[in-house]
Amino acid sequence: MKYALVFLVLVATLLPAHAQVGQGKALQLPHRWVNPLPIDSATGKVSYRAVVQAPGLSEAELYKRAKQWLAEAPSTTKMPLLTDDAAVGRLVGQTGELVRQNFLGANVQVPLWRTITIEVKPGRFRYQITDFAFDSGKGLGVVTPIENYLTPNVLTFDANGYPLPVLQSTIEAIQRSGRQQASAIRQRVSGKSQDDNW
């Protein structure tokens, strides 16, 4: 765990310095790596989102289910809701999860945070899981967005332009975690016992 925190602090402090040294130029890589994570074209952030039809369910019922899911969602630390607005049908919360990273050949666990927004209307709801970030090790609430790791740089990519093991394991953790959480939201809020095939 100590090694992971040291690595995260190094990445958080060296990425801005690396960008300044390159005077705003991206690291030139011989291979163009394709990021497998879903990126929101408007924000540029990793984002799992969908609109889910829930015929016959009122806005109040969907709101109640969404709020209950957020209250019971697994998290390394229970966080209060950031937004709880029944009048507009909007909930925003944060959850964290310990994920495994391959750091210098060792598997370490580090906290991965994300923000979850659920908005409801009669017979449907939408969710978004975004703002994935790692605890920077600099104190409570200071995080490093996952997008900092995905930008080609010498700390997370090799000379051929492929992700180093620490980044590859991070991507796999986000894919697993994001998909599982999206599935849990769809099932719990809609009341469907089985996941839809999206």
Which pLDDT score is estimated for 198?
37
Write out the chain's pLDDT in tens, 198 residues. Answer: 444 444 444 444 334 433 333 333 454 555 667 888 999 999 999 999 999 999 999 999 999 999 999 998 888 777 788 999 999 999 999 988 887 776 667 777 888 889 999 999 999 999 999 999 987 666 556 778 999 888 877 888 888 888 888 888 889 889 998 999 999 999 999 987 554 443
Which pLDDT score is estimated for 161?
82
Which pLDDT score is estimated for 131?
94
Residues 6+ apart with CB under 8 A from 85: 91
CATH architecture of residue range(s) 2-25+42-190:
2-Layer Sandwich (3.30)
Which pLDDT score is estimated for 10?
40
Which pLDDT score is estimated for 109?
81
pTM over 0.85: no
Which pLDDT score is estimated for 139?
55
Which pLDDT score is estimated for 78?
72
CB 123 within 8 A of CB 18: no
Which pLDDT score is estimated for 28?
54
Which pLDDT score is estimated for 6?
42
Polymer length in residues for the chain = 198
